[in-house]
Amino acid sequence: MSASAPAILLVDDEPHSLSAMKLALEDDFDILTAKGAAEALAILEEEWVQVIICDQRMPGRTGVDFLTEVRERWPETVRIILTGYTDSASMMTAINEAGIHQFLTKPWHPEQLLASARNAARMFALARENDRLSLEMRLLNSTQESRVEKRRRALREGMGFETILRTPNSAMNGAVTLARQFASFDVPVLVRGEPGSGRAQMARAMHYVSLRSDKPFYELNLAGMPEELAMIELFGARRGILPGGVAKIGLAQKADRGTLFLAGIETATPALQLALIRMLTEGAITPLGGQETAGTNLRLITAAAADLRALVADGKFRSDLYYALSTGEVVLPPLRARRGDVAILAQNFLAEAAARHGKPVLGFDGTALDFLENYDWPGNLRELSNEVTRMLMFAQSNTLGADLISRHILQAAPSEEGADRSAEEVMTAAGTLKDRVELIEMRILRETLTRNRWNKSRAAAELGLSRVGLRAKLERYGIIDPSGRVSEEEES
């Protein structure tokens, strides 16, 4: 085995599949192969392996079962699974139990496999470097500690597009592919999407895989910011303008040779738009209150929640600035359009919140995931993160159930495009009064039972119904416990 190439262990019971994977990866990696879990474990006992790519369906032990043991014994090894199935239940089992880094669907493409392997090896190297820096920090004085912490922060943030969690068939894949293409070219990029859809994360990923990745990344949200304050933050101010008589260096100069990310670009005032077009076309800025001109060589990535092309047509945004900003344009889907991604995102938010608050848990149960997947998340990633943190705070066991979910989410009606956020749409929808009242009643019944963990006695008491009356309503609307549990009163 060479000393320079990372080692990858390929596990598959089909010789043809092993040969194909080895052919795709052998130019970049030292390849080890195994036809099953037992042979793979024997190799891991003897060799230092950075990445494992394992098939899910194998005789004896499944891929998830094998990788669960790998996670316990060799937690630093990055685990990738090959599967022909993408149902959310299987994915959540793999995430909770085996700590899967990435799913690859069959049939895979050689370039896709190679890119995933390279990303995994880079992730392993970053983790090792992070550990090394942790040891190094203990031996350095406070000045050196600050320098090392900056390097560690860059490592954490420097994982590029791998930080954008998604399933193999995610609606986000197209946006990531486009952003990855733009990232390698030193041009302005416009990222369009709803607030909370991950625009800053996408901009950061583009920076850390670009030619400017070793230079600074700064961000500023212009939404709601007064024009003068925005000018000062971006371009700075000469001495005597600010209280205390000190000069201020703006982000445009701080980001020289790096990347500046501006969110809320659609809210920029005419004067600010003019200053931005000058910065883009001439590379020149003027601090507030000054006459001198300073130069800057930065890459500008902007984000907008509105359609700038429509604002240009309405005369509310400069056309020259729009075309200067949108050499590359990426549109991010809202969370309600990312069917299947919510489970992985929720689990990641849960892991982060559990570590942050020191409250370890295993994950969500299937019913909770169904409710989270069916909600439309108008606040996108921020709302999902807040909901998961709230669930964690109230959790009494290692597995978070649907009874911890907020009532407005439990009451939302499931649909193909997400869920209704309130009863308002029912109030204004077409249909008879009886039909609309029954729809609201059905939602209330479903939410109350879920919150009470399907204890029908407690639910009936809360709703002011007898147990017989509650049972009649459940049969009328066809409402059943999704977990398949049978209550004690029904058994008796």
Q: Is residue 318 predicted with pLDDT exceeding 70?
A: yes
Q: Is residue 182 predicted with pLDDT exceeding 90?
A: yes
* Tens-digit pLDDT profile for residues 39-93: 999 999 999 899 999 998 888 888 889 999 999 899 889 999 988 766 656 666 6
Q: Is residue 417 predicted with pLDDT exceeding 70?
A: no
* Tens-digit pLDDT profile for residues 183-192: 989 999 999 9
For domain 170-333, the CATH class is alpha beta
pLDDT of the residue at 422: 42
Q: Say what the pTM is.
A: 0.58
- 16-30, 340-354, 418-432: lowest mean pLDDT where? 418-432
Distance of alpha carbon 338 from the chain centroid: 11
Q: Do the domains 170-333 and 7-127 match in fold? A: yes
CATH topology of domain 432-491: Arc Repressor Mutant, subunit A (1.10.10)
Segment 238-264 shows an average pLDDT of: 88
Q: What is the dihedral of CA 341, 69, 125, 346, to 10 degrees?
A: 20
* Domain formed by 335-421, architecture: Orthogonal Bundle (1.10)
Q: Is residue 298 predicted with pLDDT exceeding 60?
A: yes
251: Cβ–Cβ under 8 A, 6 or more apart, which residues? 218, 220, 233, 234, 260
Pairing, β 259-263 against β 217-221:
parallel
pLDDT of the residue at 156: 47
Residue 285 CB neighbours (<10 A): 22
Quick one: what percent of the chain has pLDDT higher than 90?
46
Q: Tokens 């004067």, residue? A: 271
For domain 7-127, the CATH class is alpha beta
pLDDT band for position 455 (50/70/90)?
confident
pLDDT, averaged across the chain: 84
Task: Pick the more confident residue, 445 or 146.
Answer: 445
Which letter does DSSP use for residue 248 in this model?
B
Quick one: what percent of the chain has pLDDT higher than 70?
84
pLDDT band for position 243 (50/70/90)?
confident
Distance CA 211, CA 98 (A): 35
Query: Smallest Cα–Cα separation from 259: which of 165, 151, 183, 176?
Result: 183
Q: Is residue 102 predicted with pLDDT exceeding 60?
A: yes
pLDDT of the residue at 409: 87
Q: Is residue 147 predicted with pLDDT exceeding 80?
A: no
* Tens-digit pLDDT profile for residues 334-373: 999 998 889 889 988 998 999 999 998 888 988 888 889 8
Domain ranges of the chain: 7-127, 170-333, 335-421, 432-491
pLDDT band for position 196 (50/70/90)?
very high
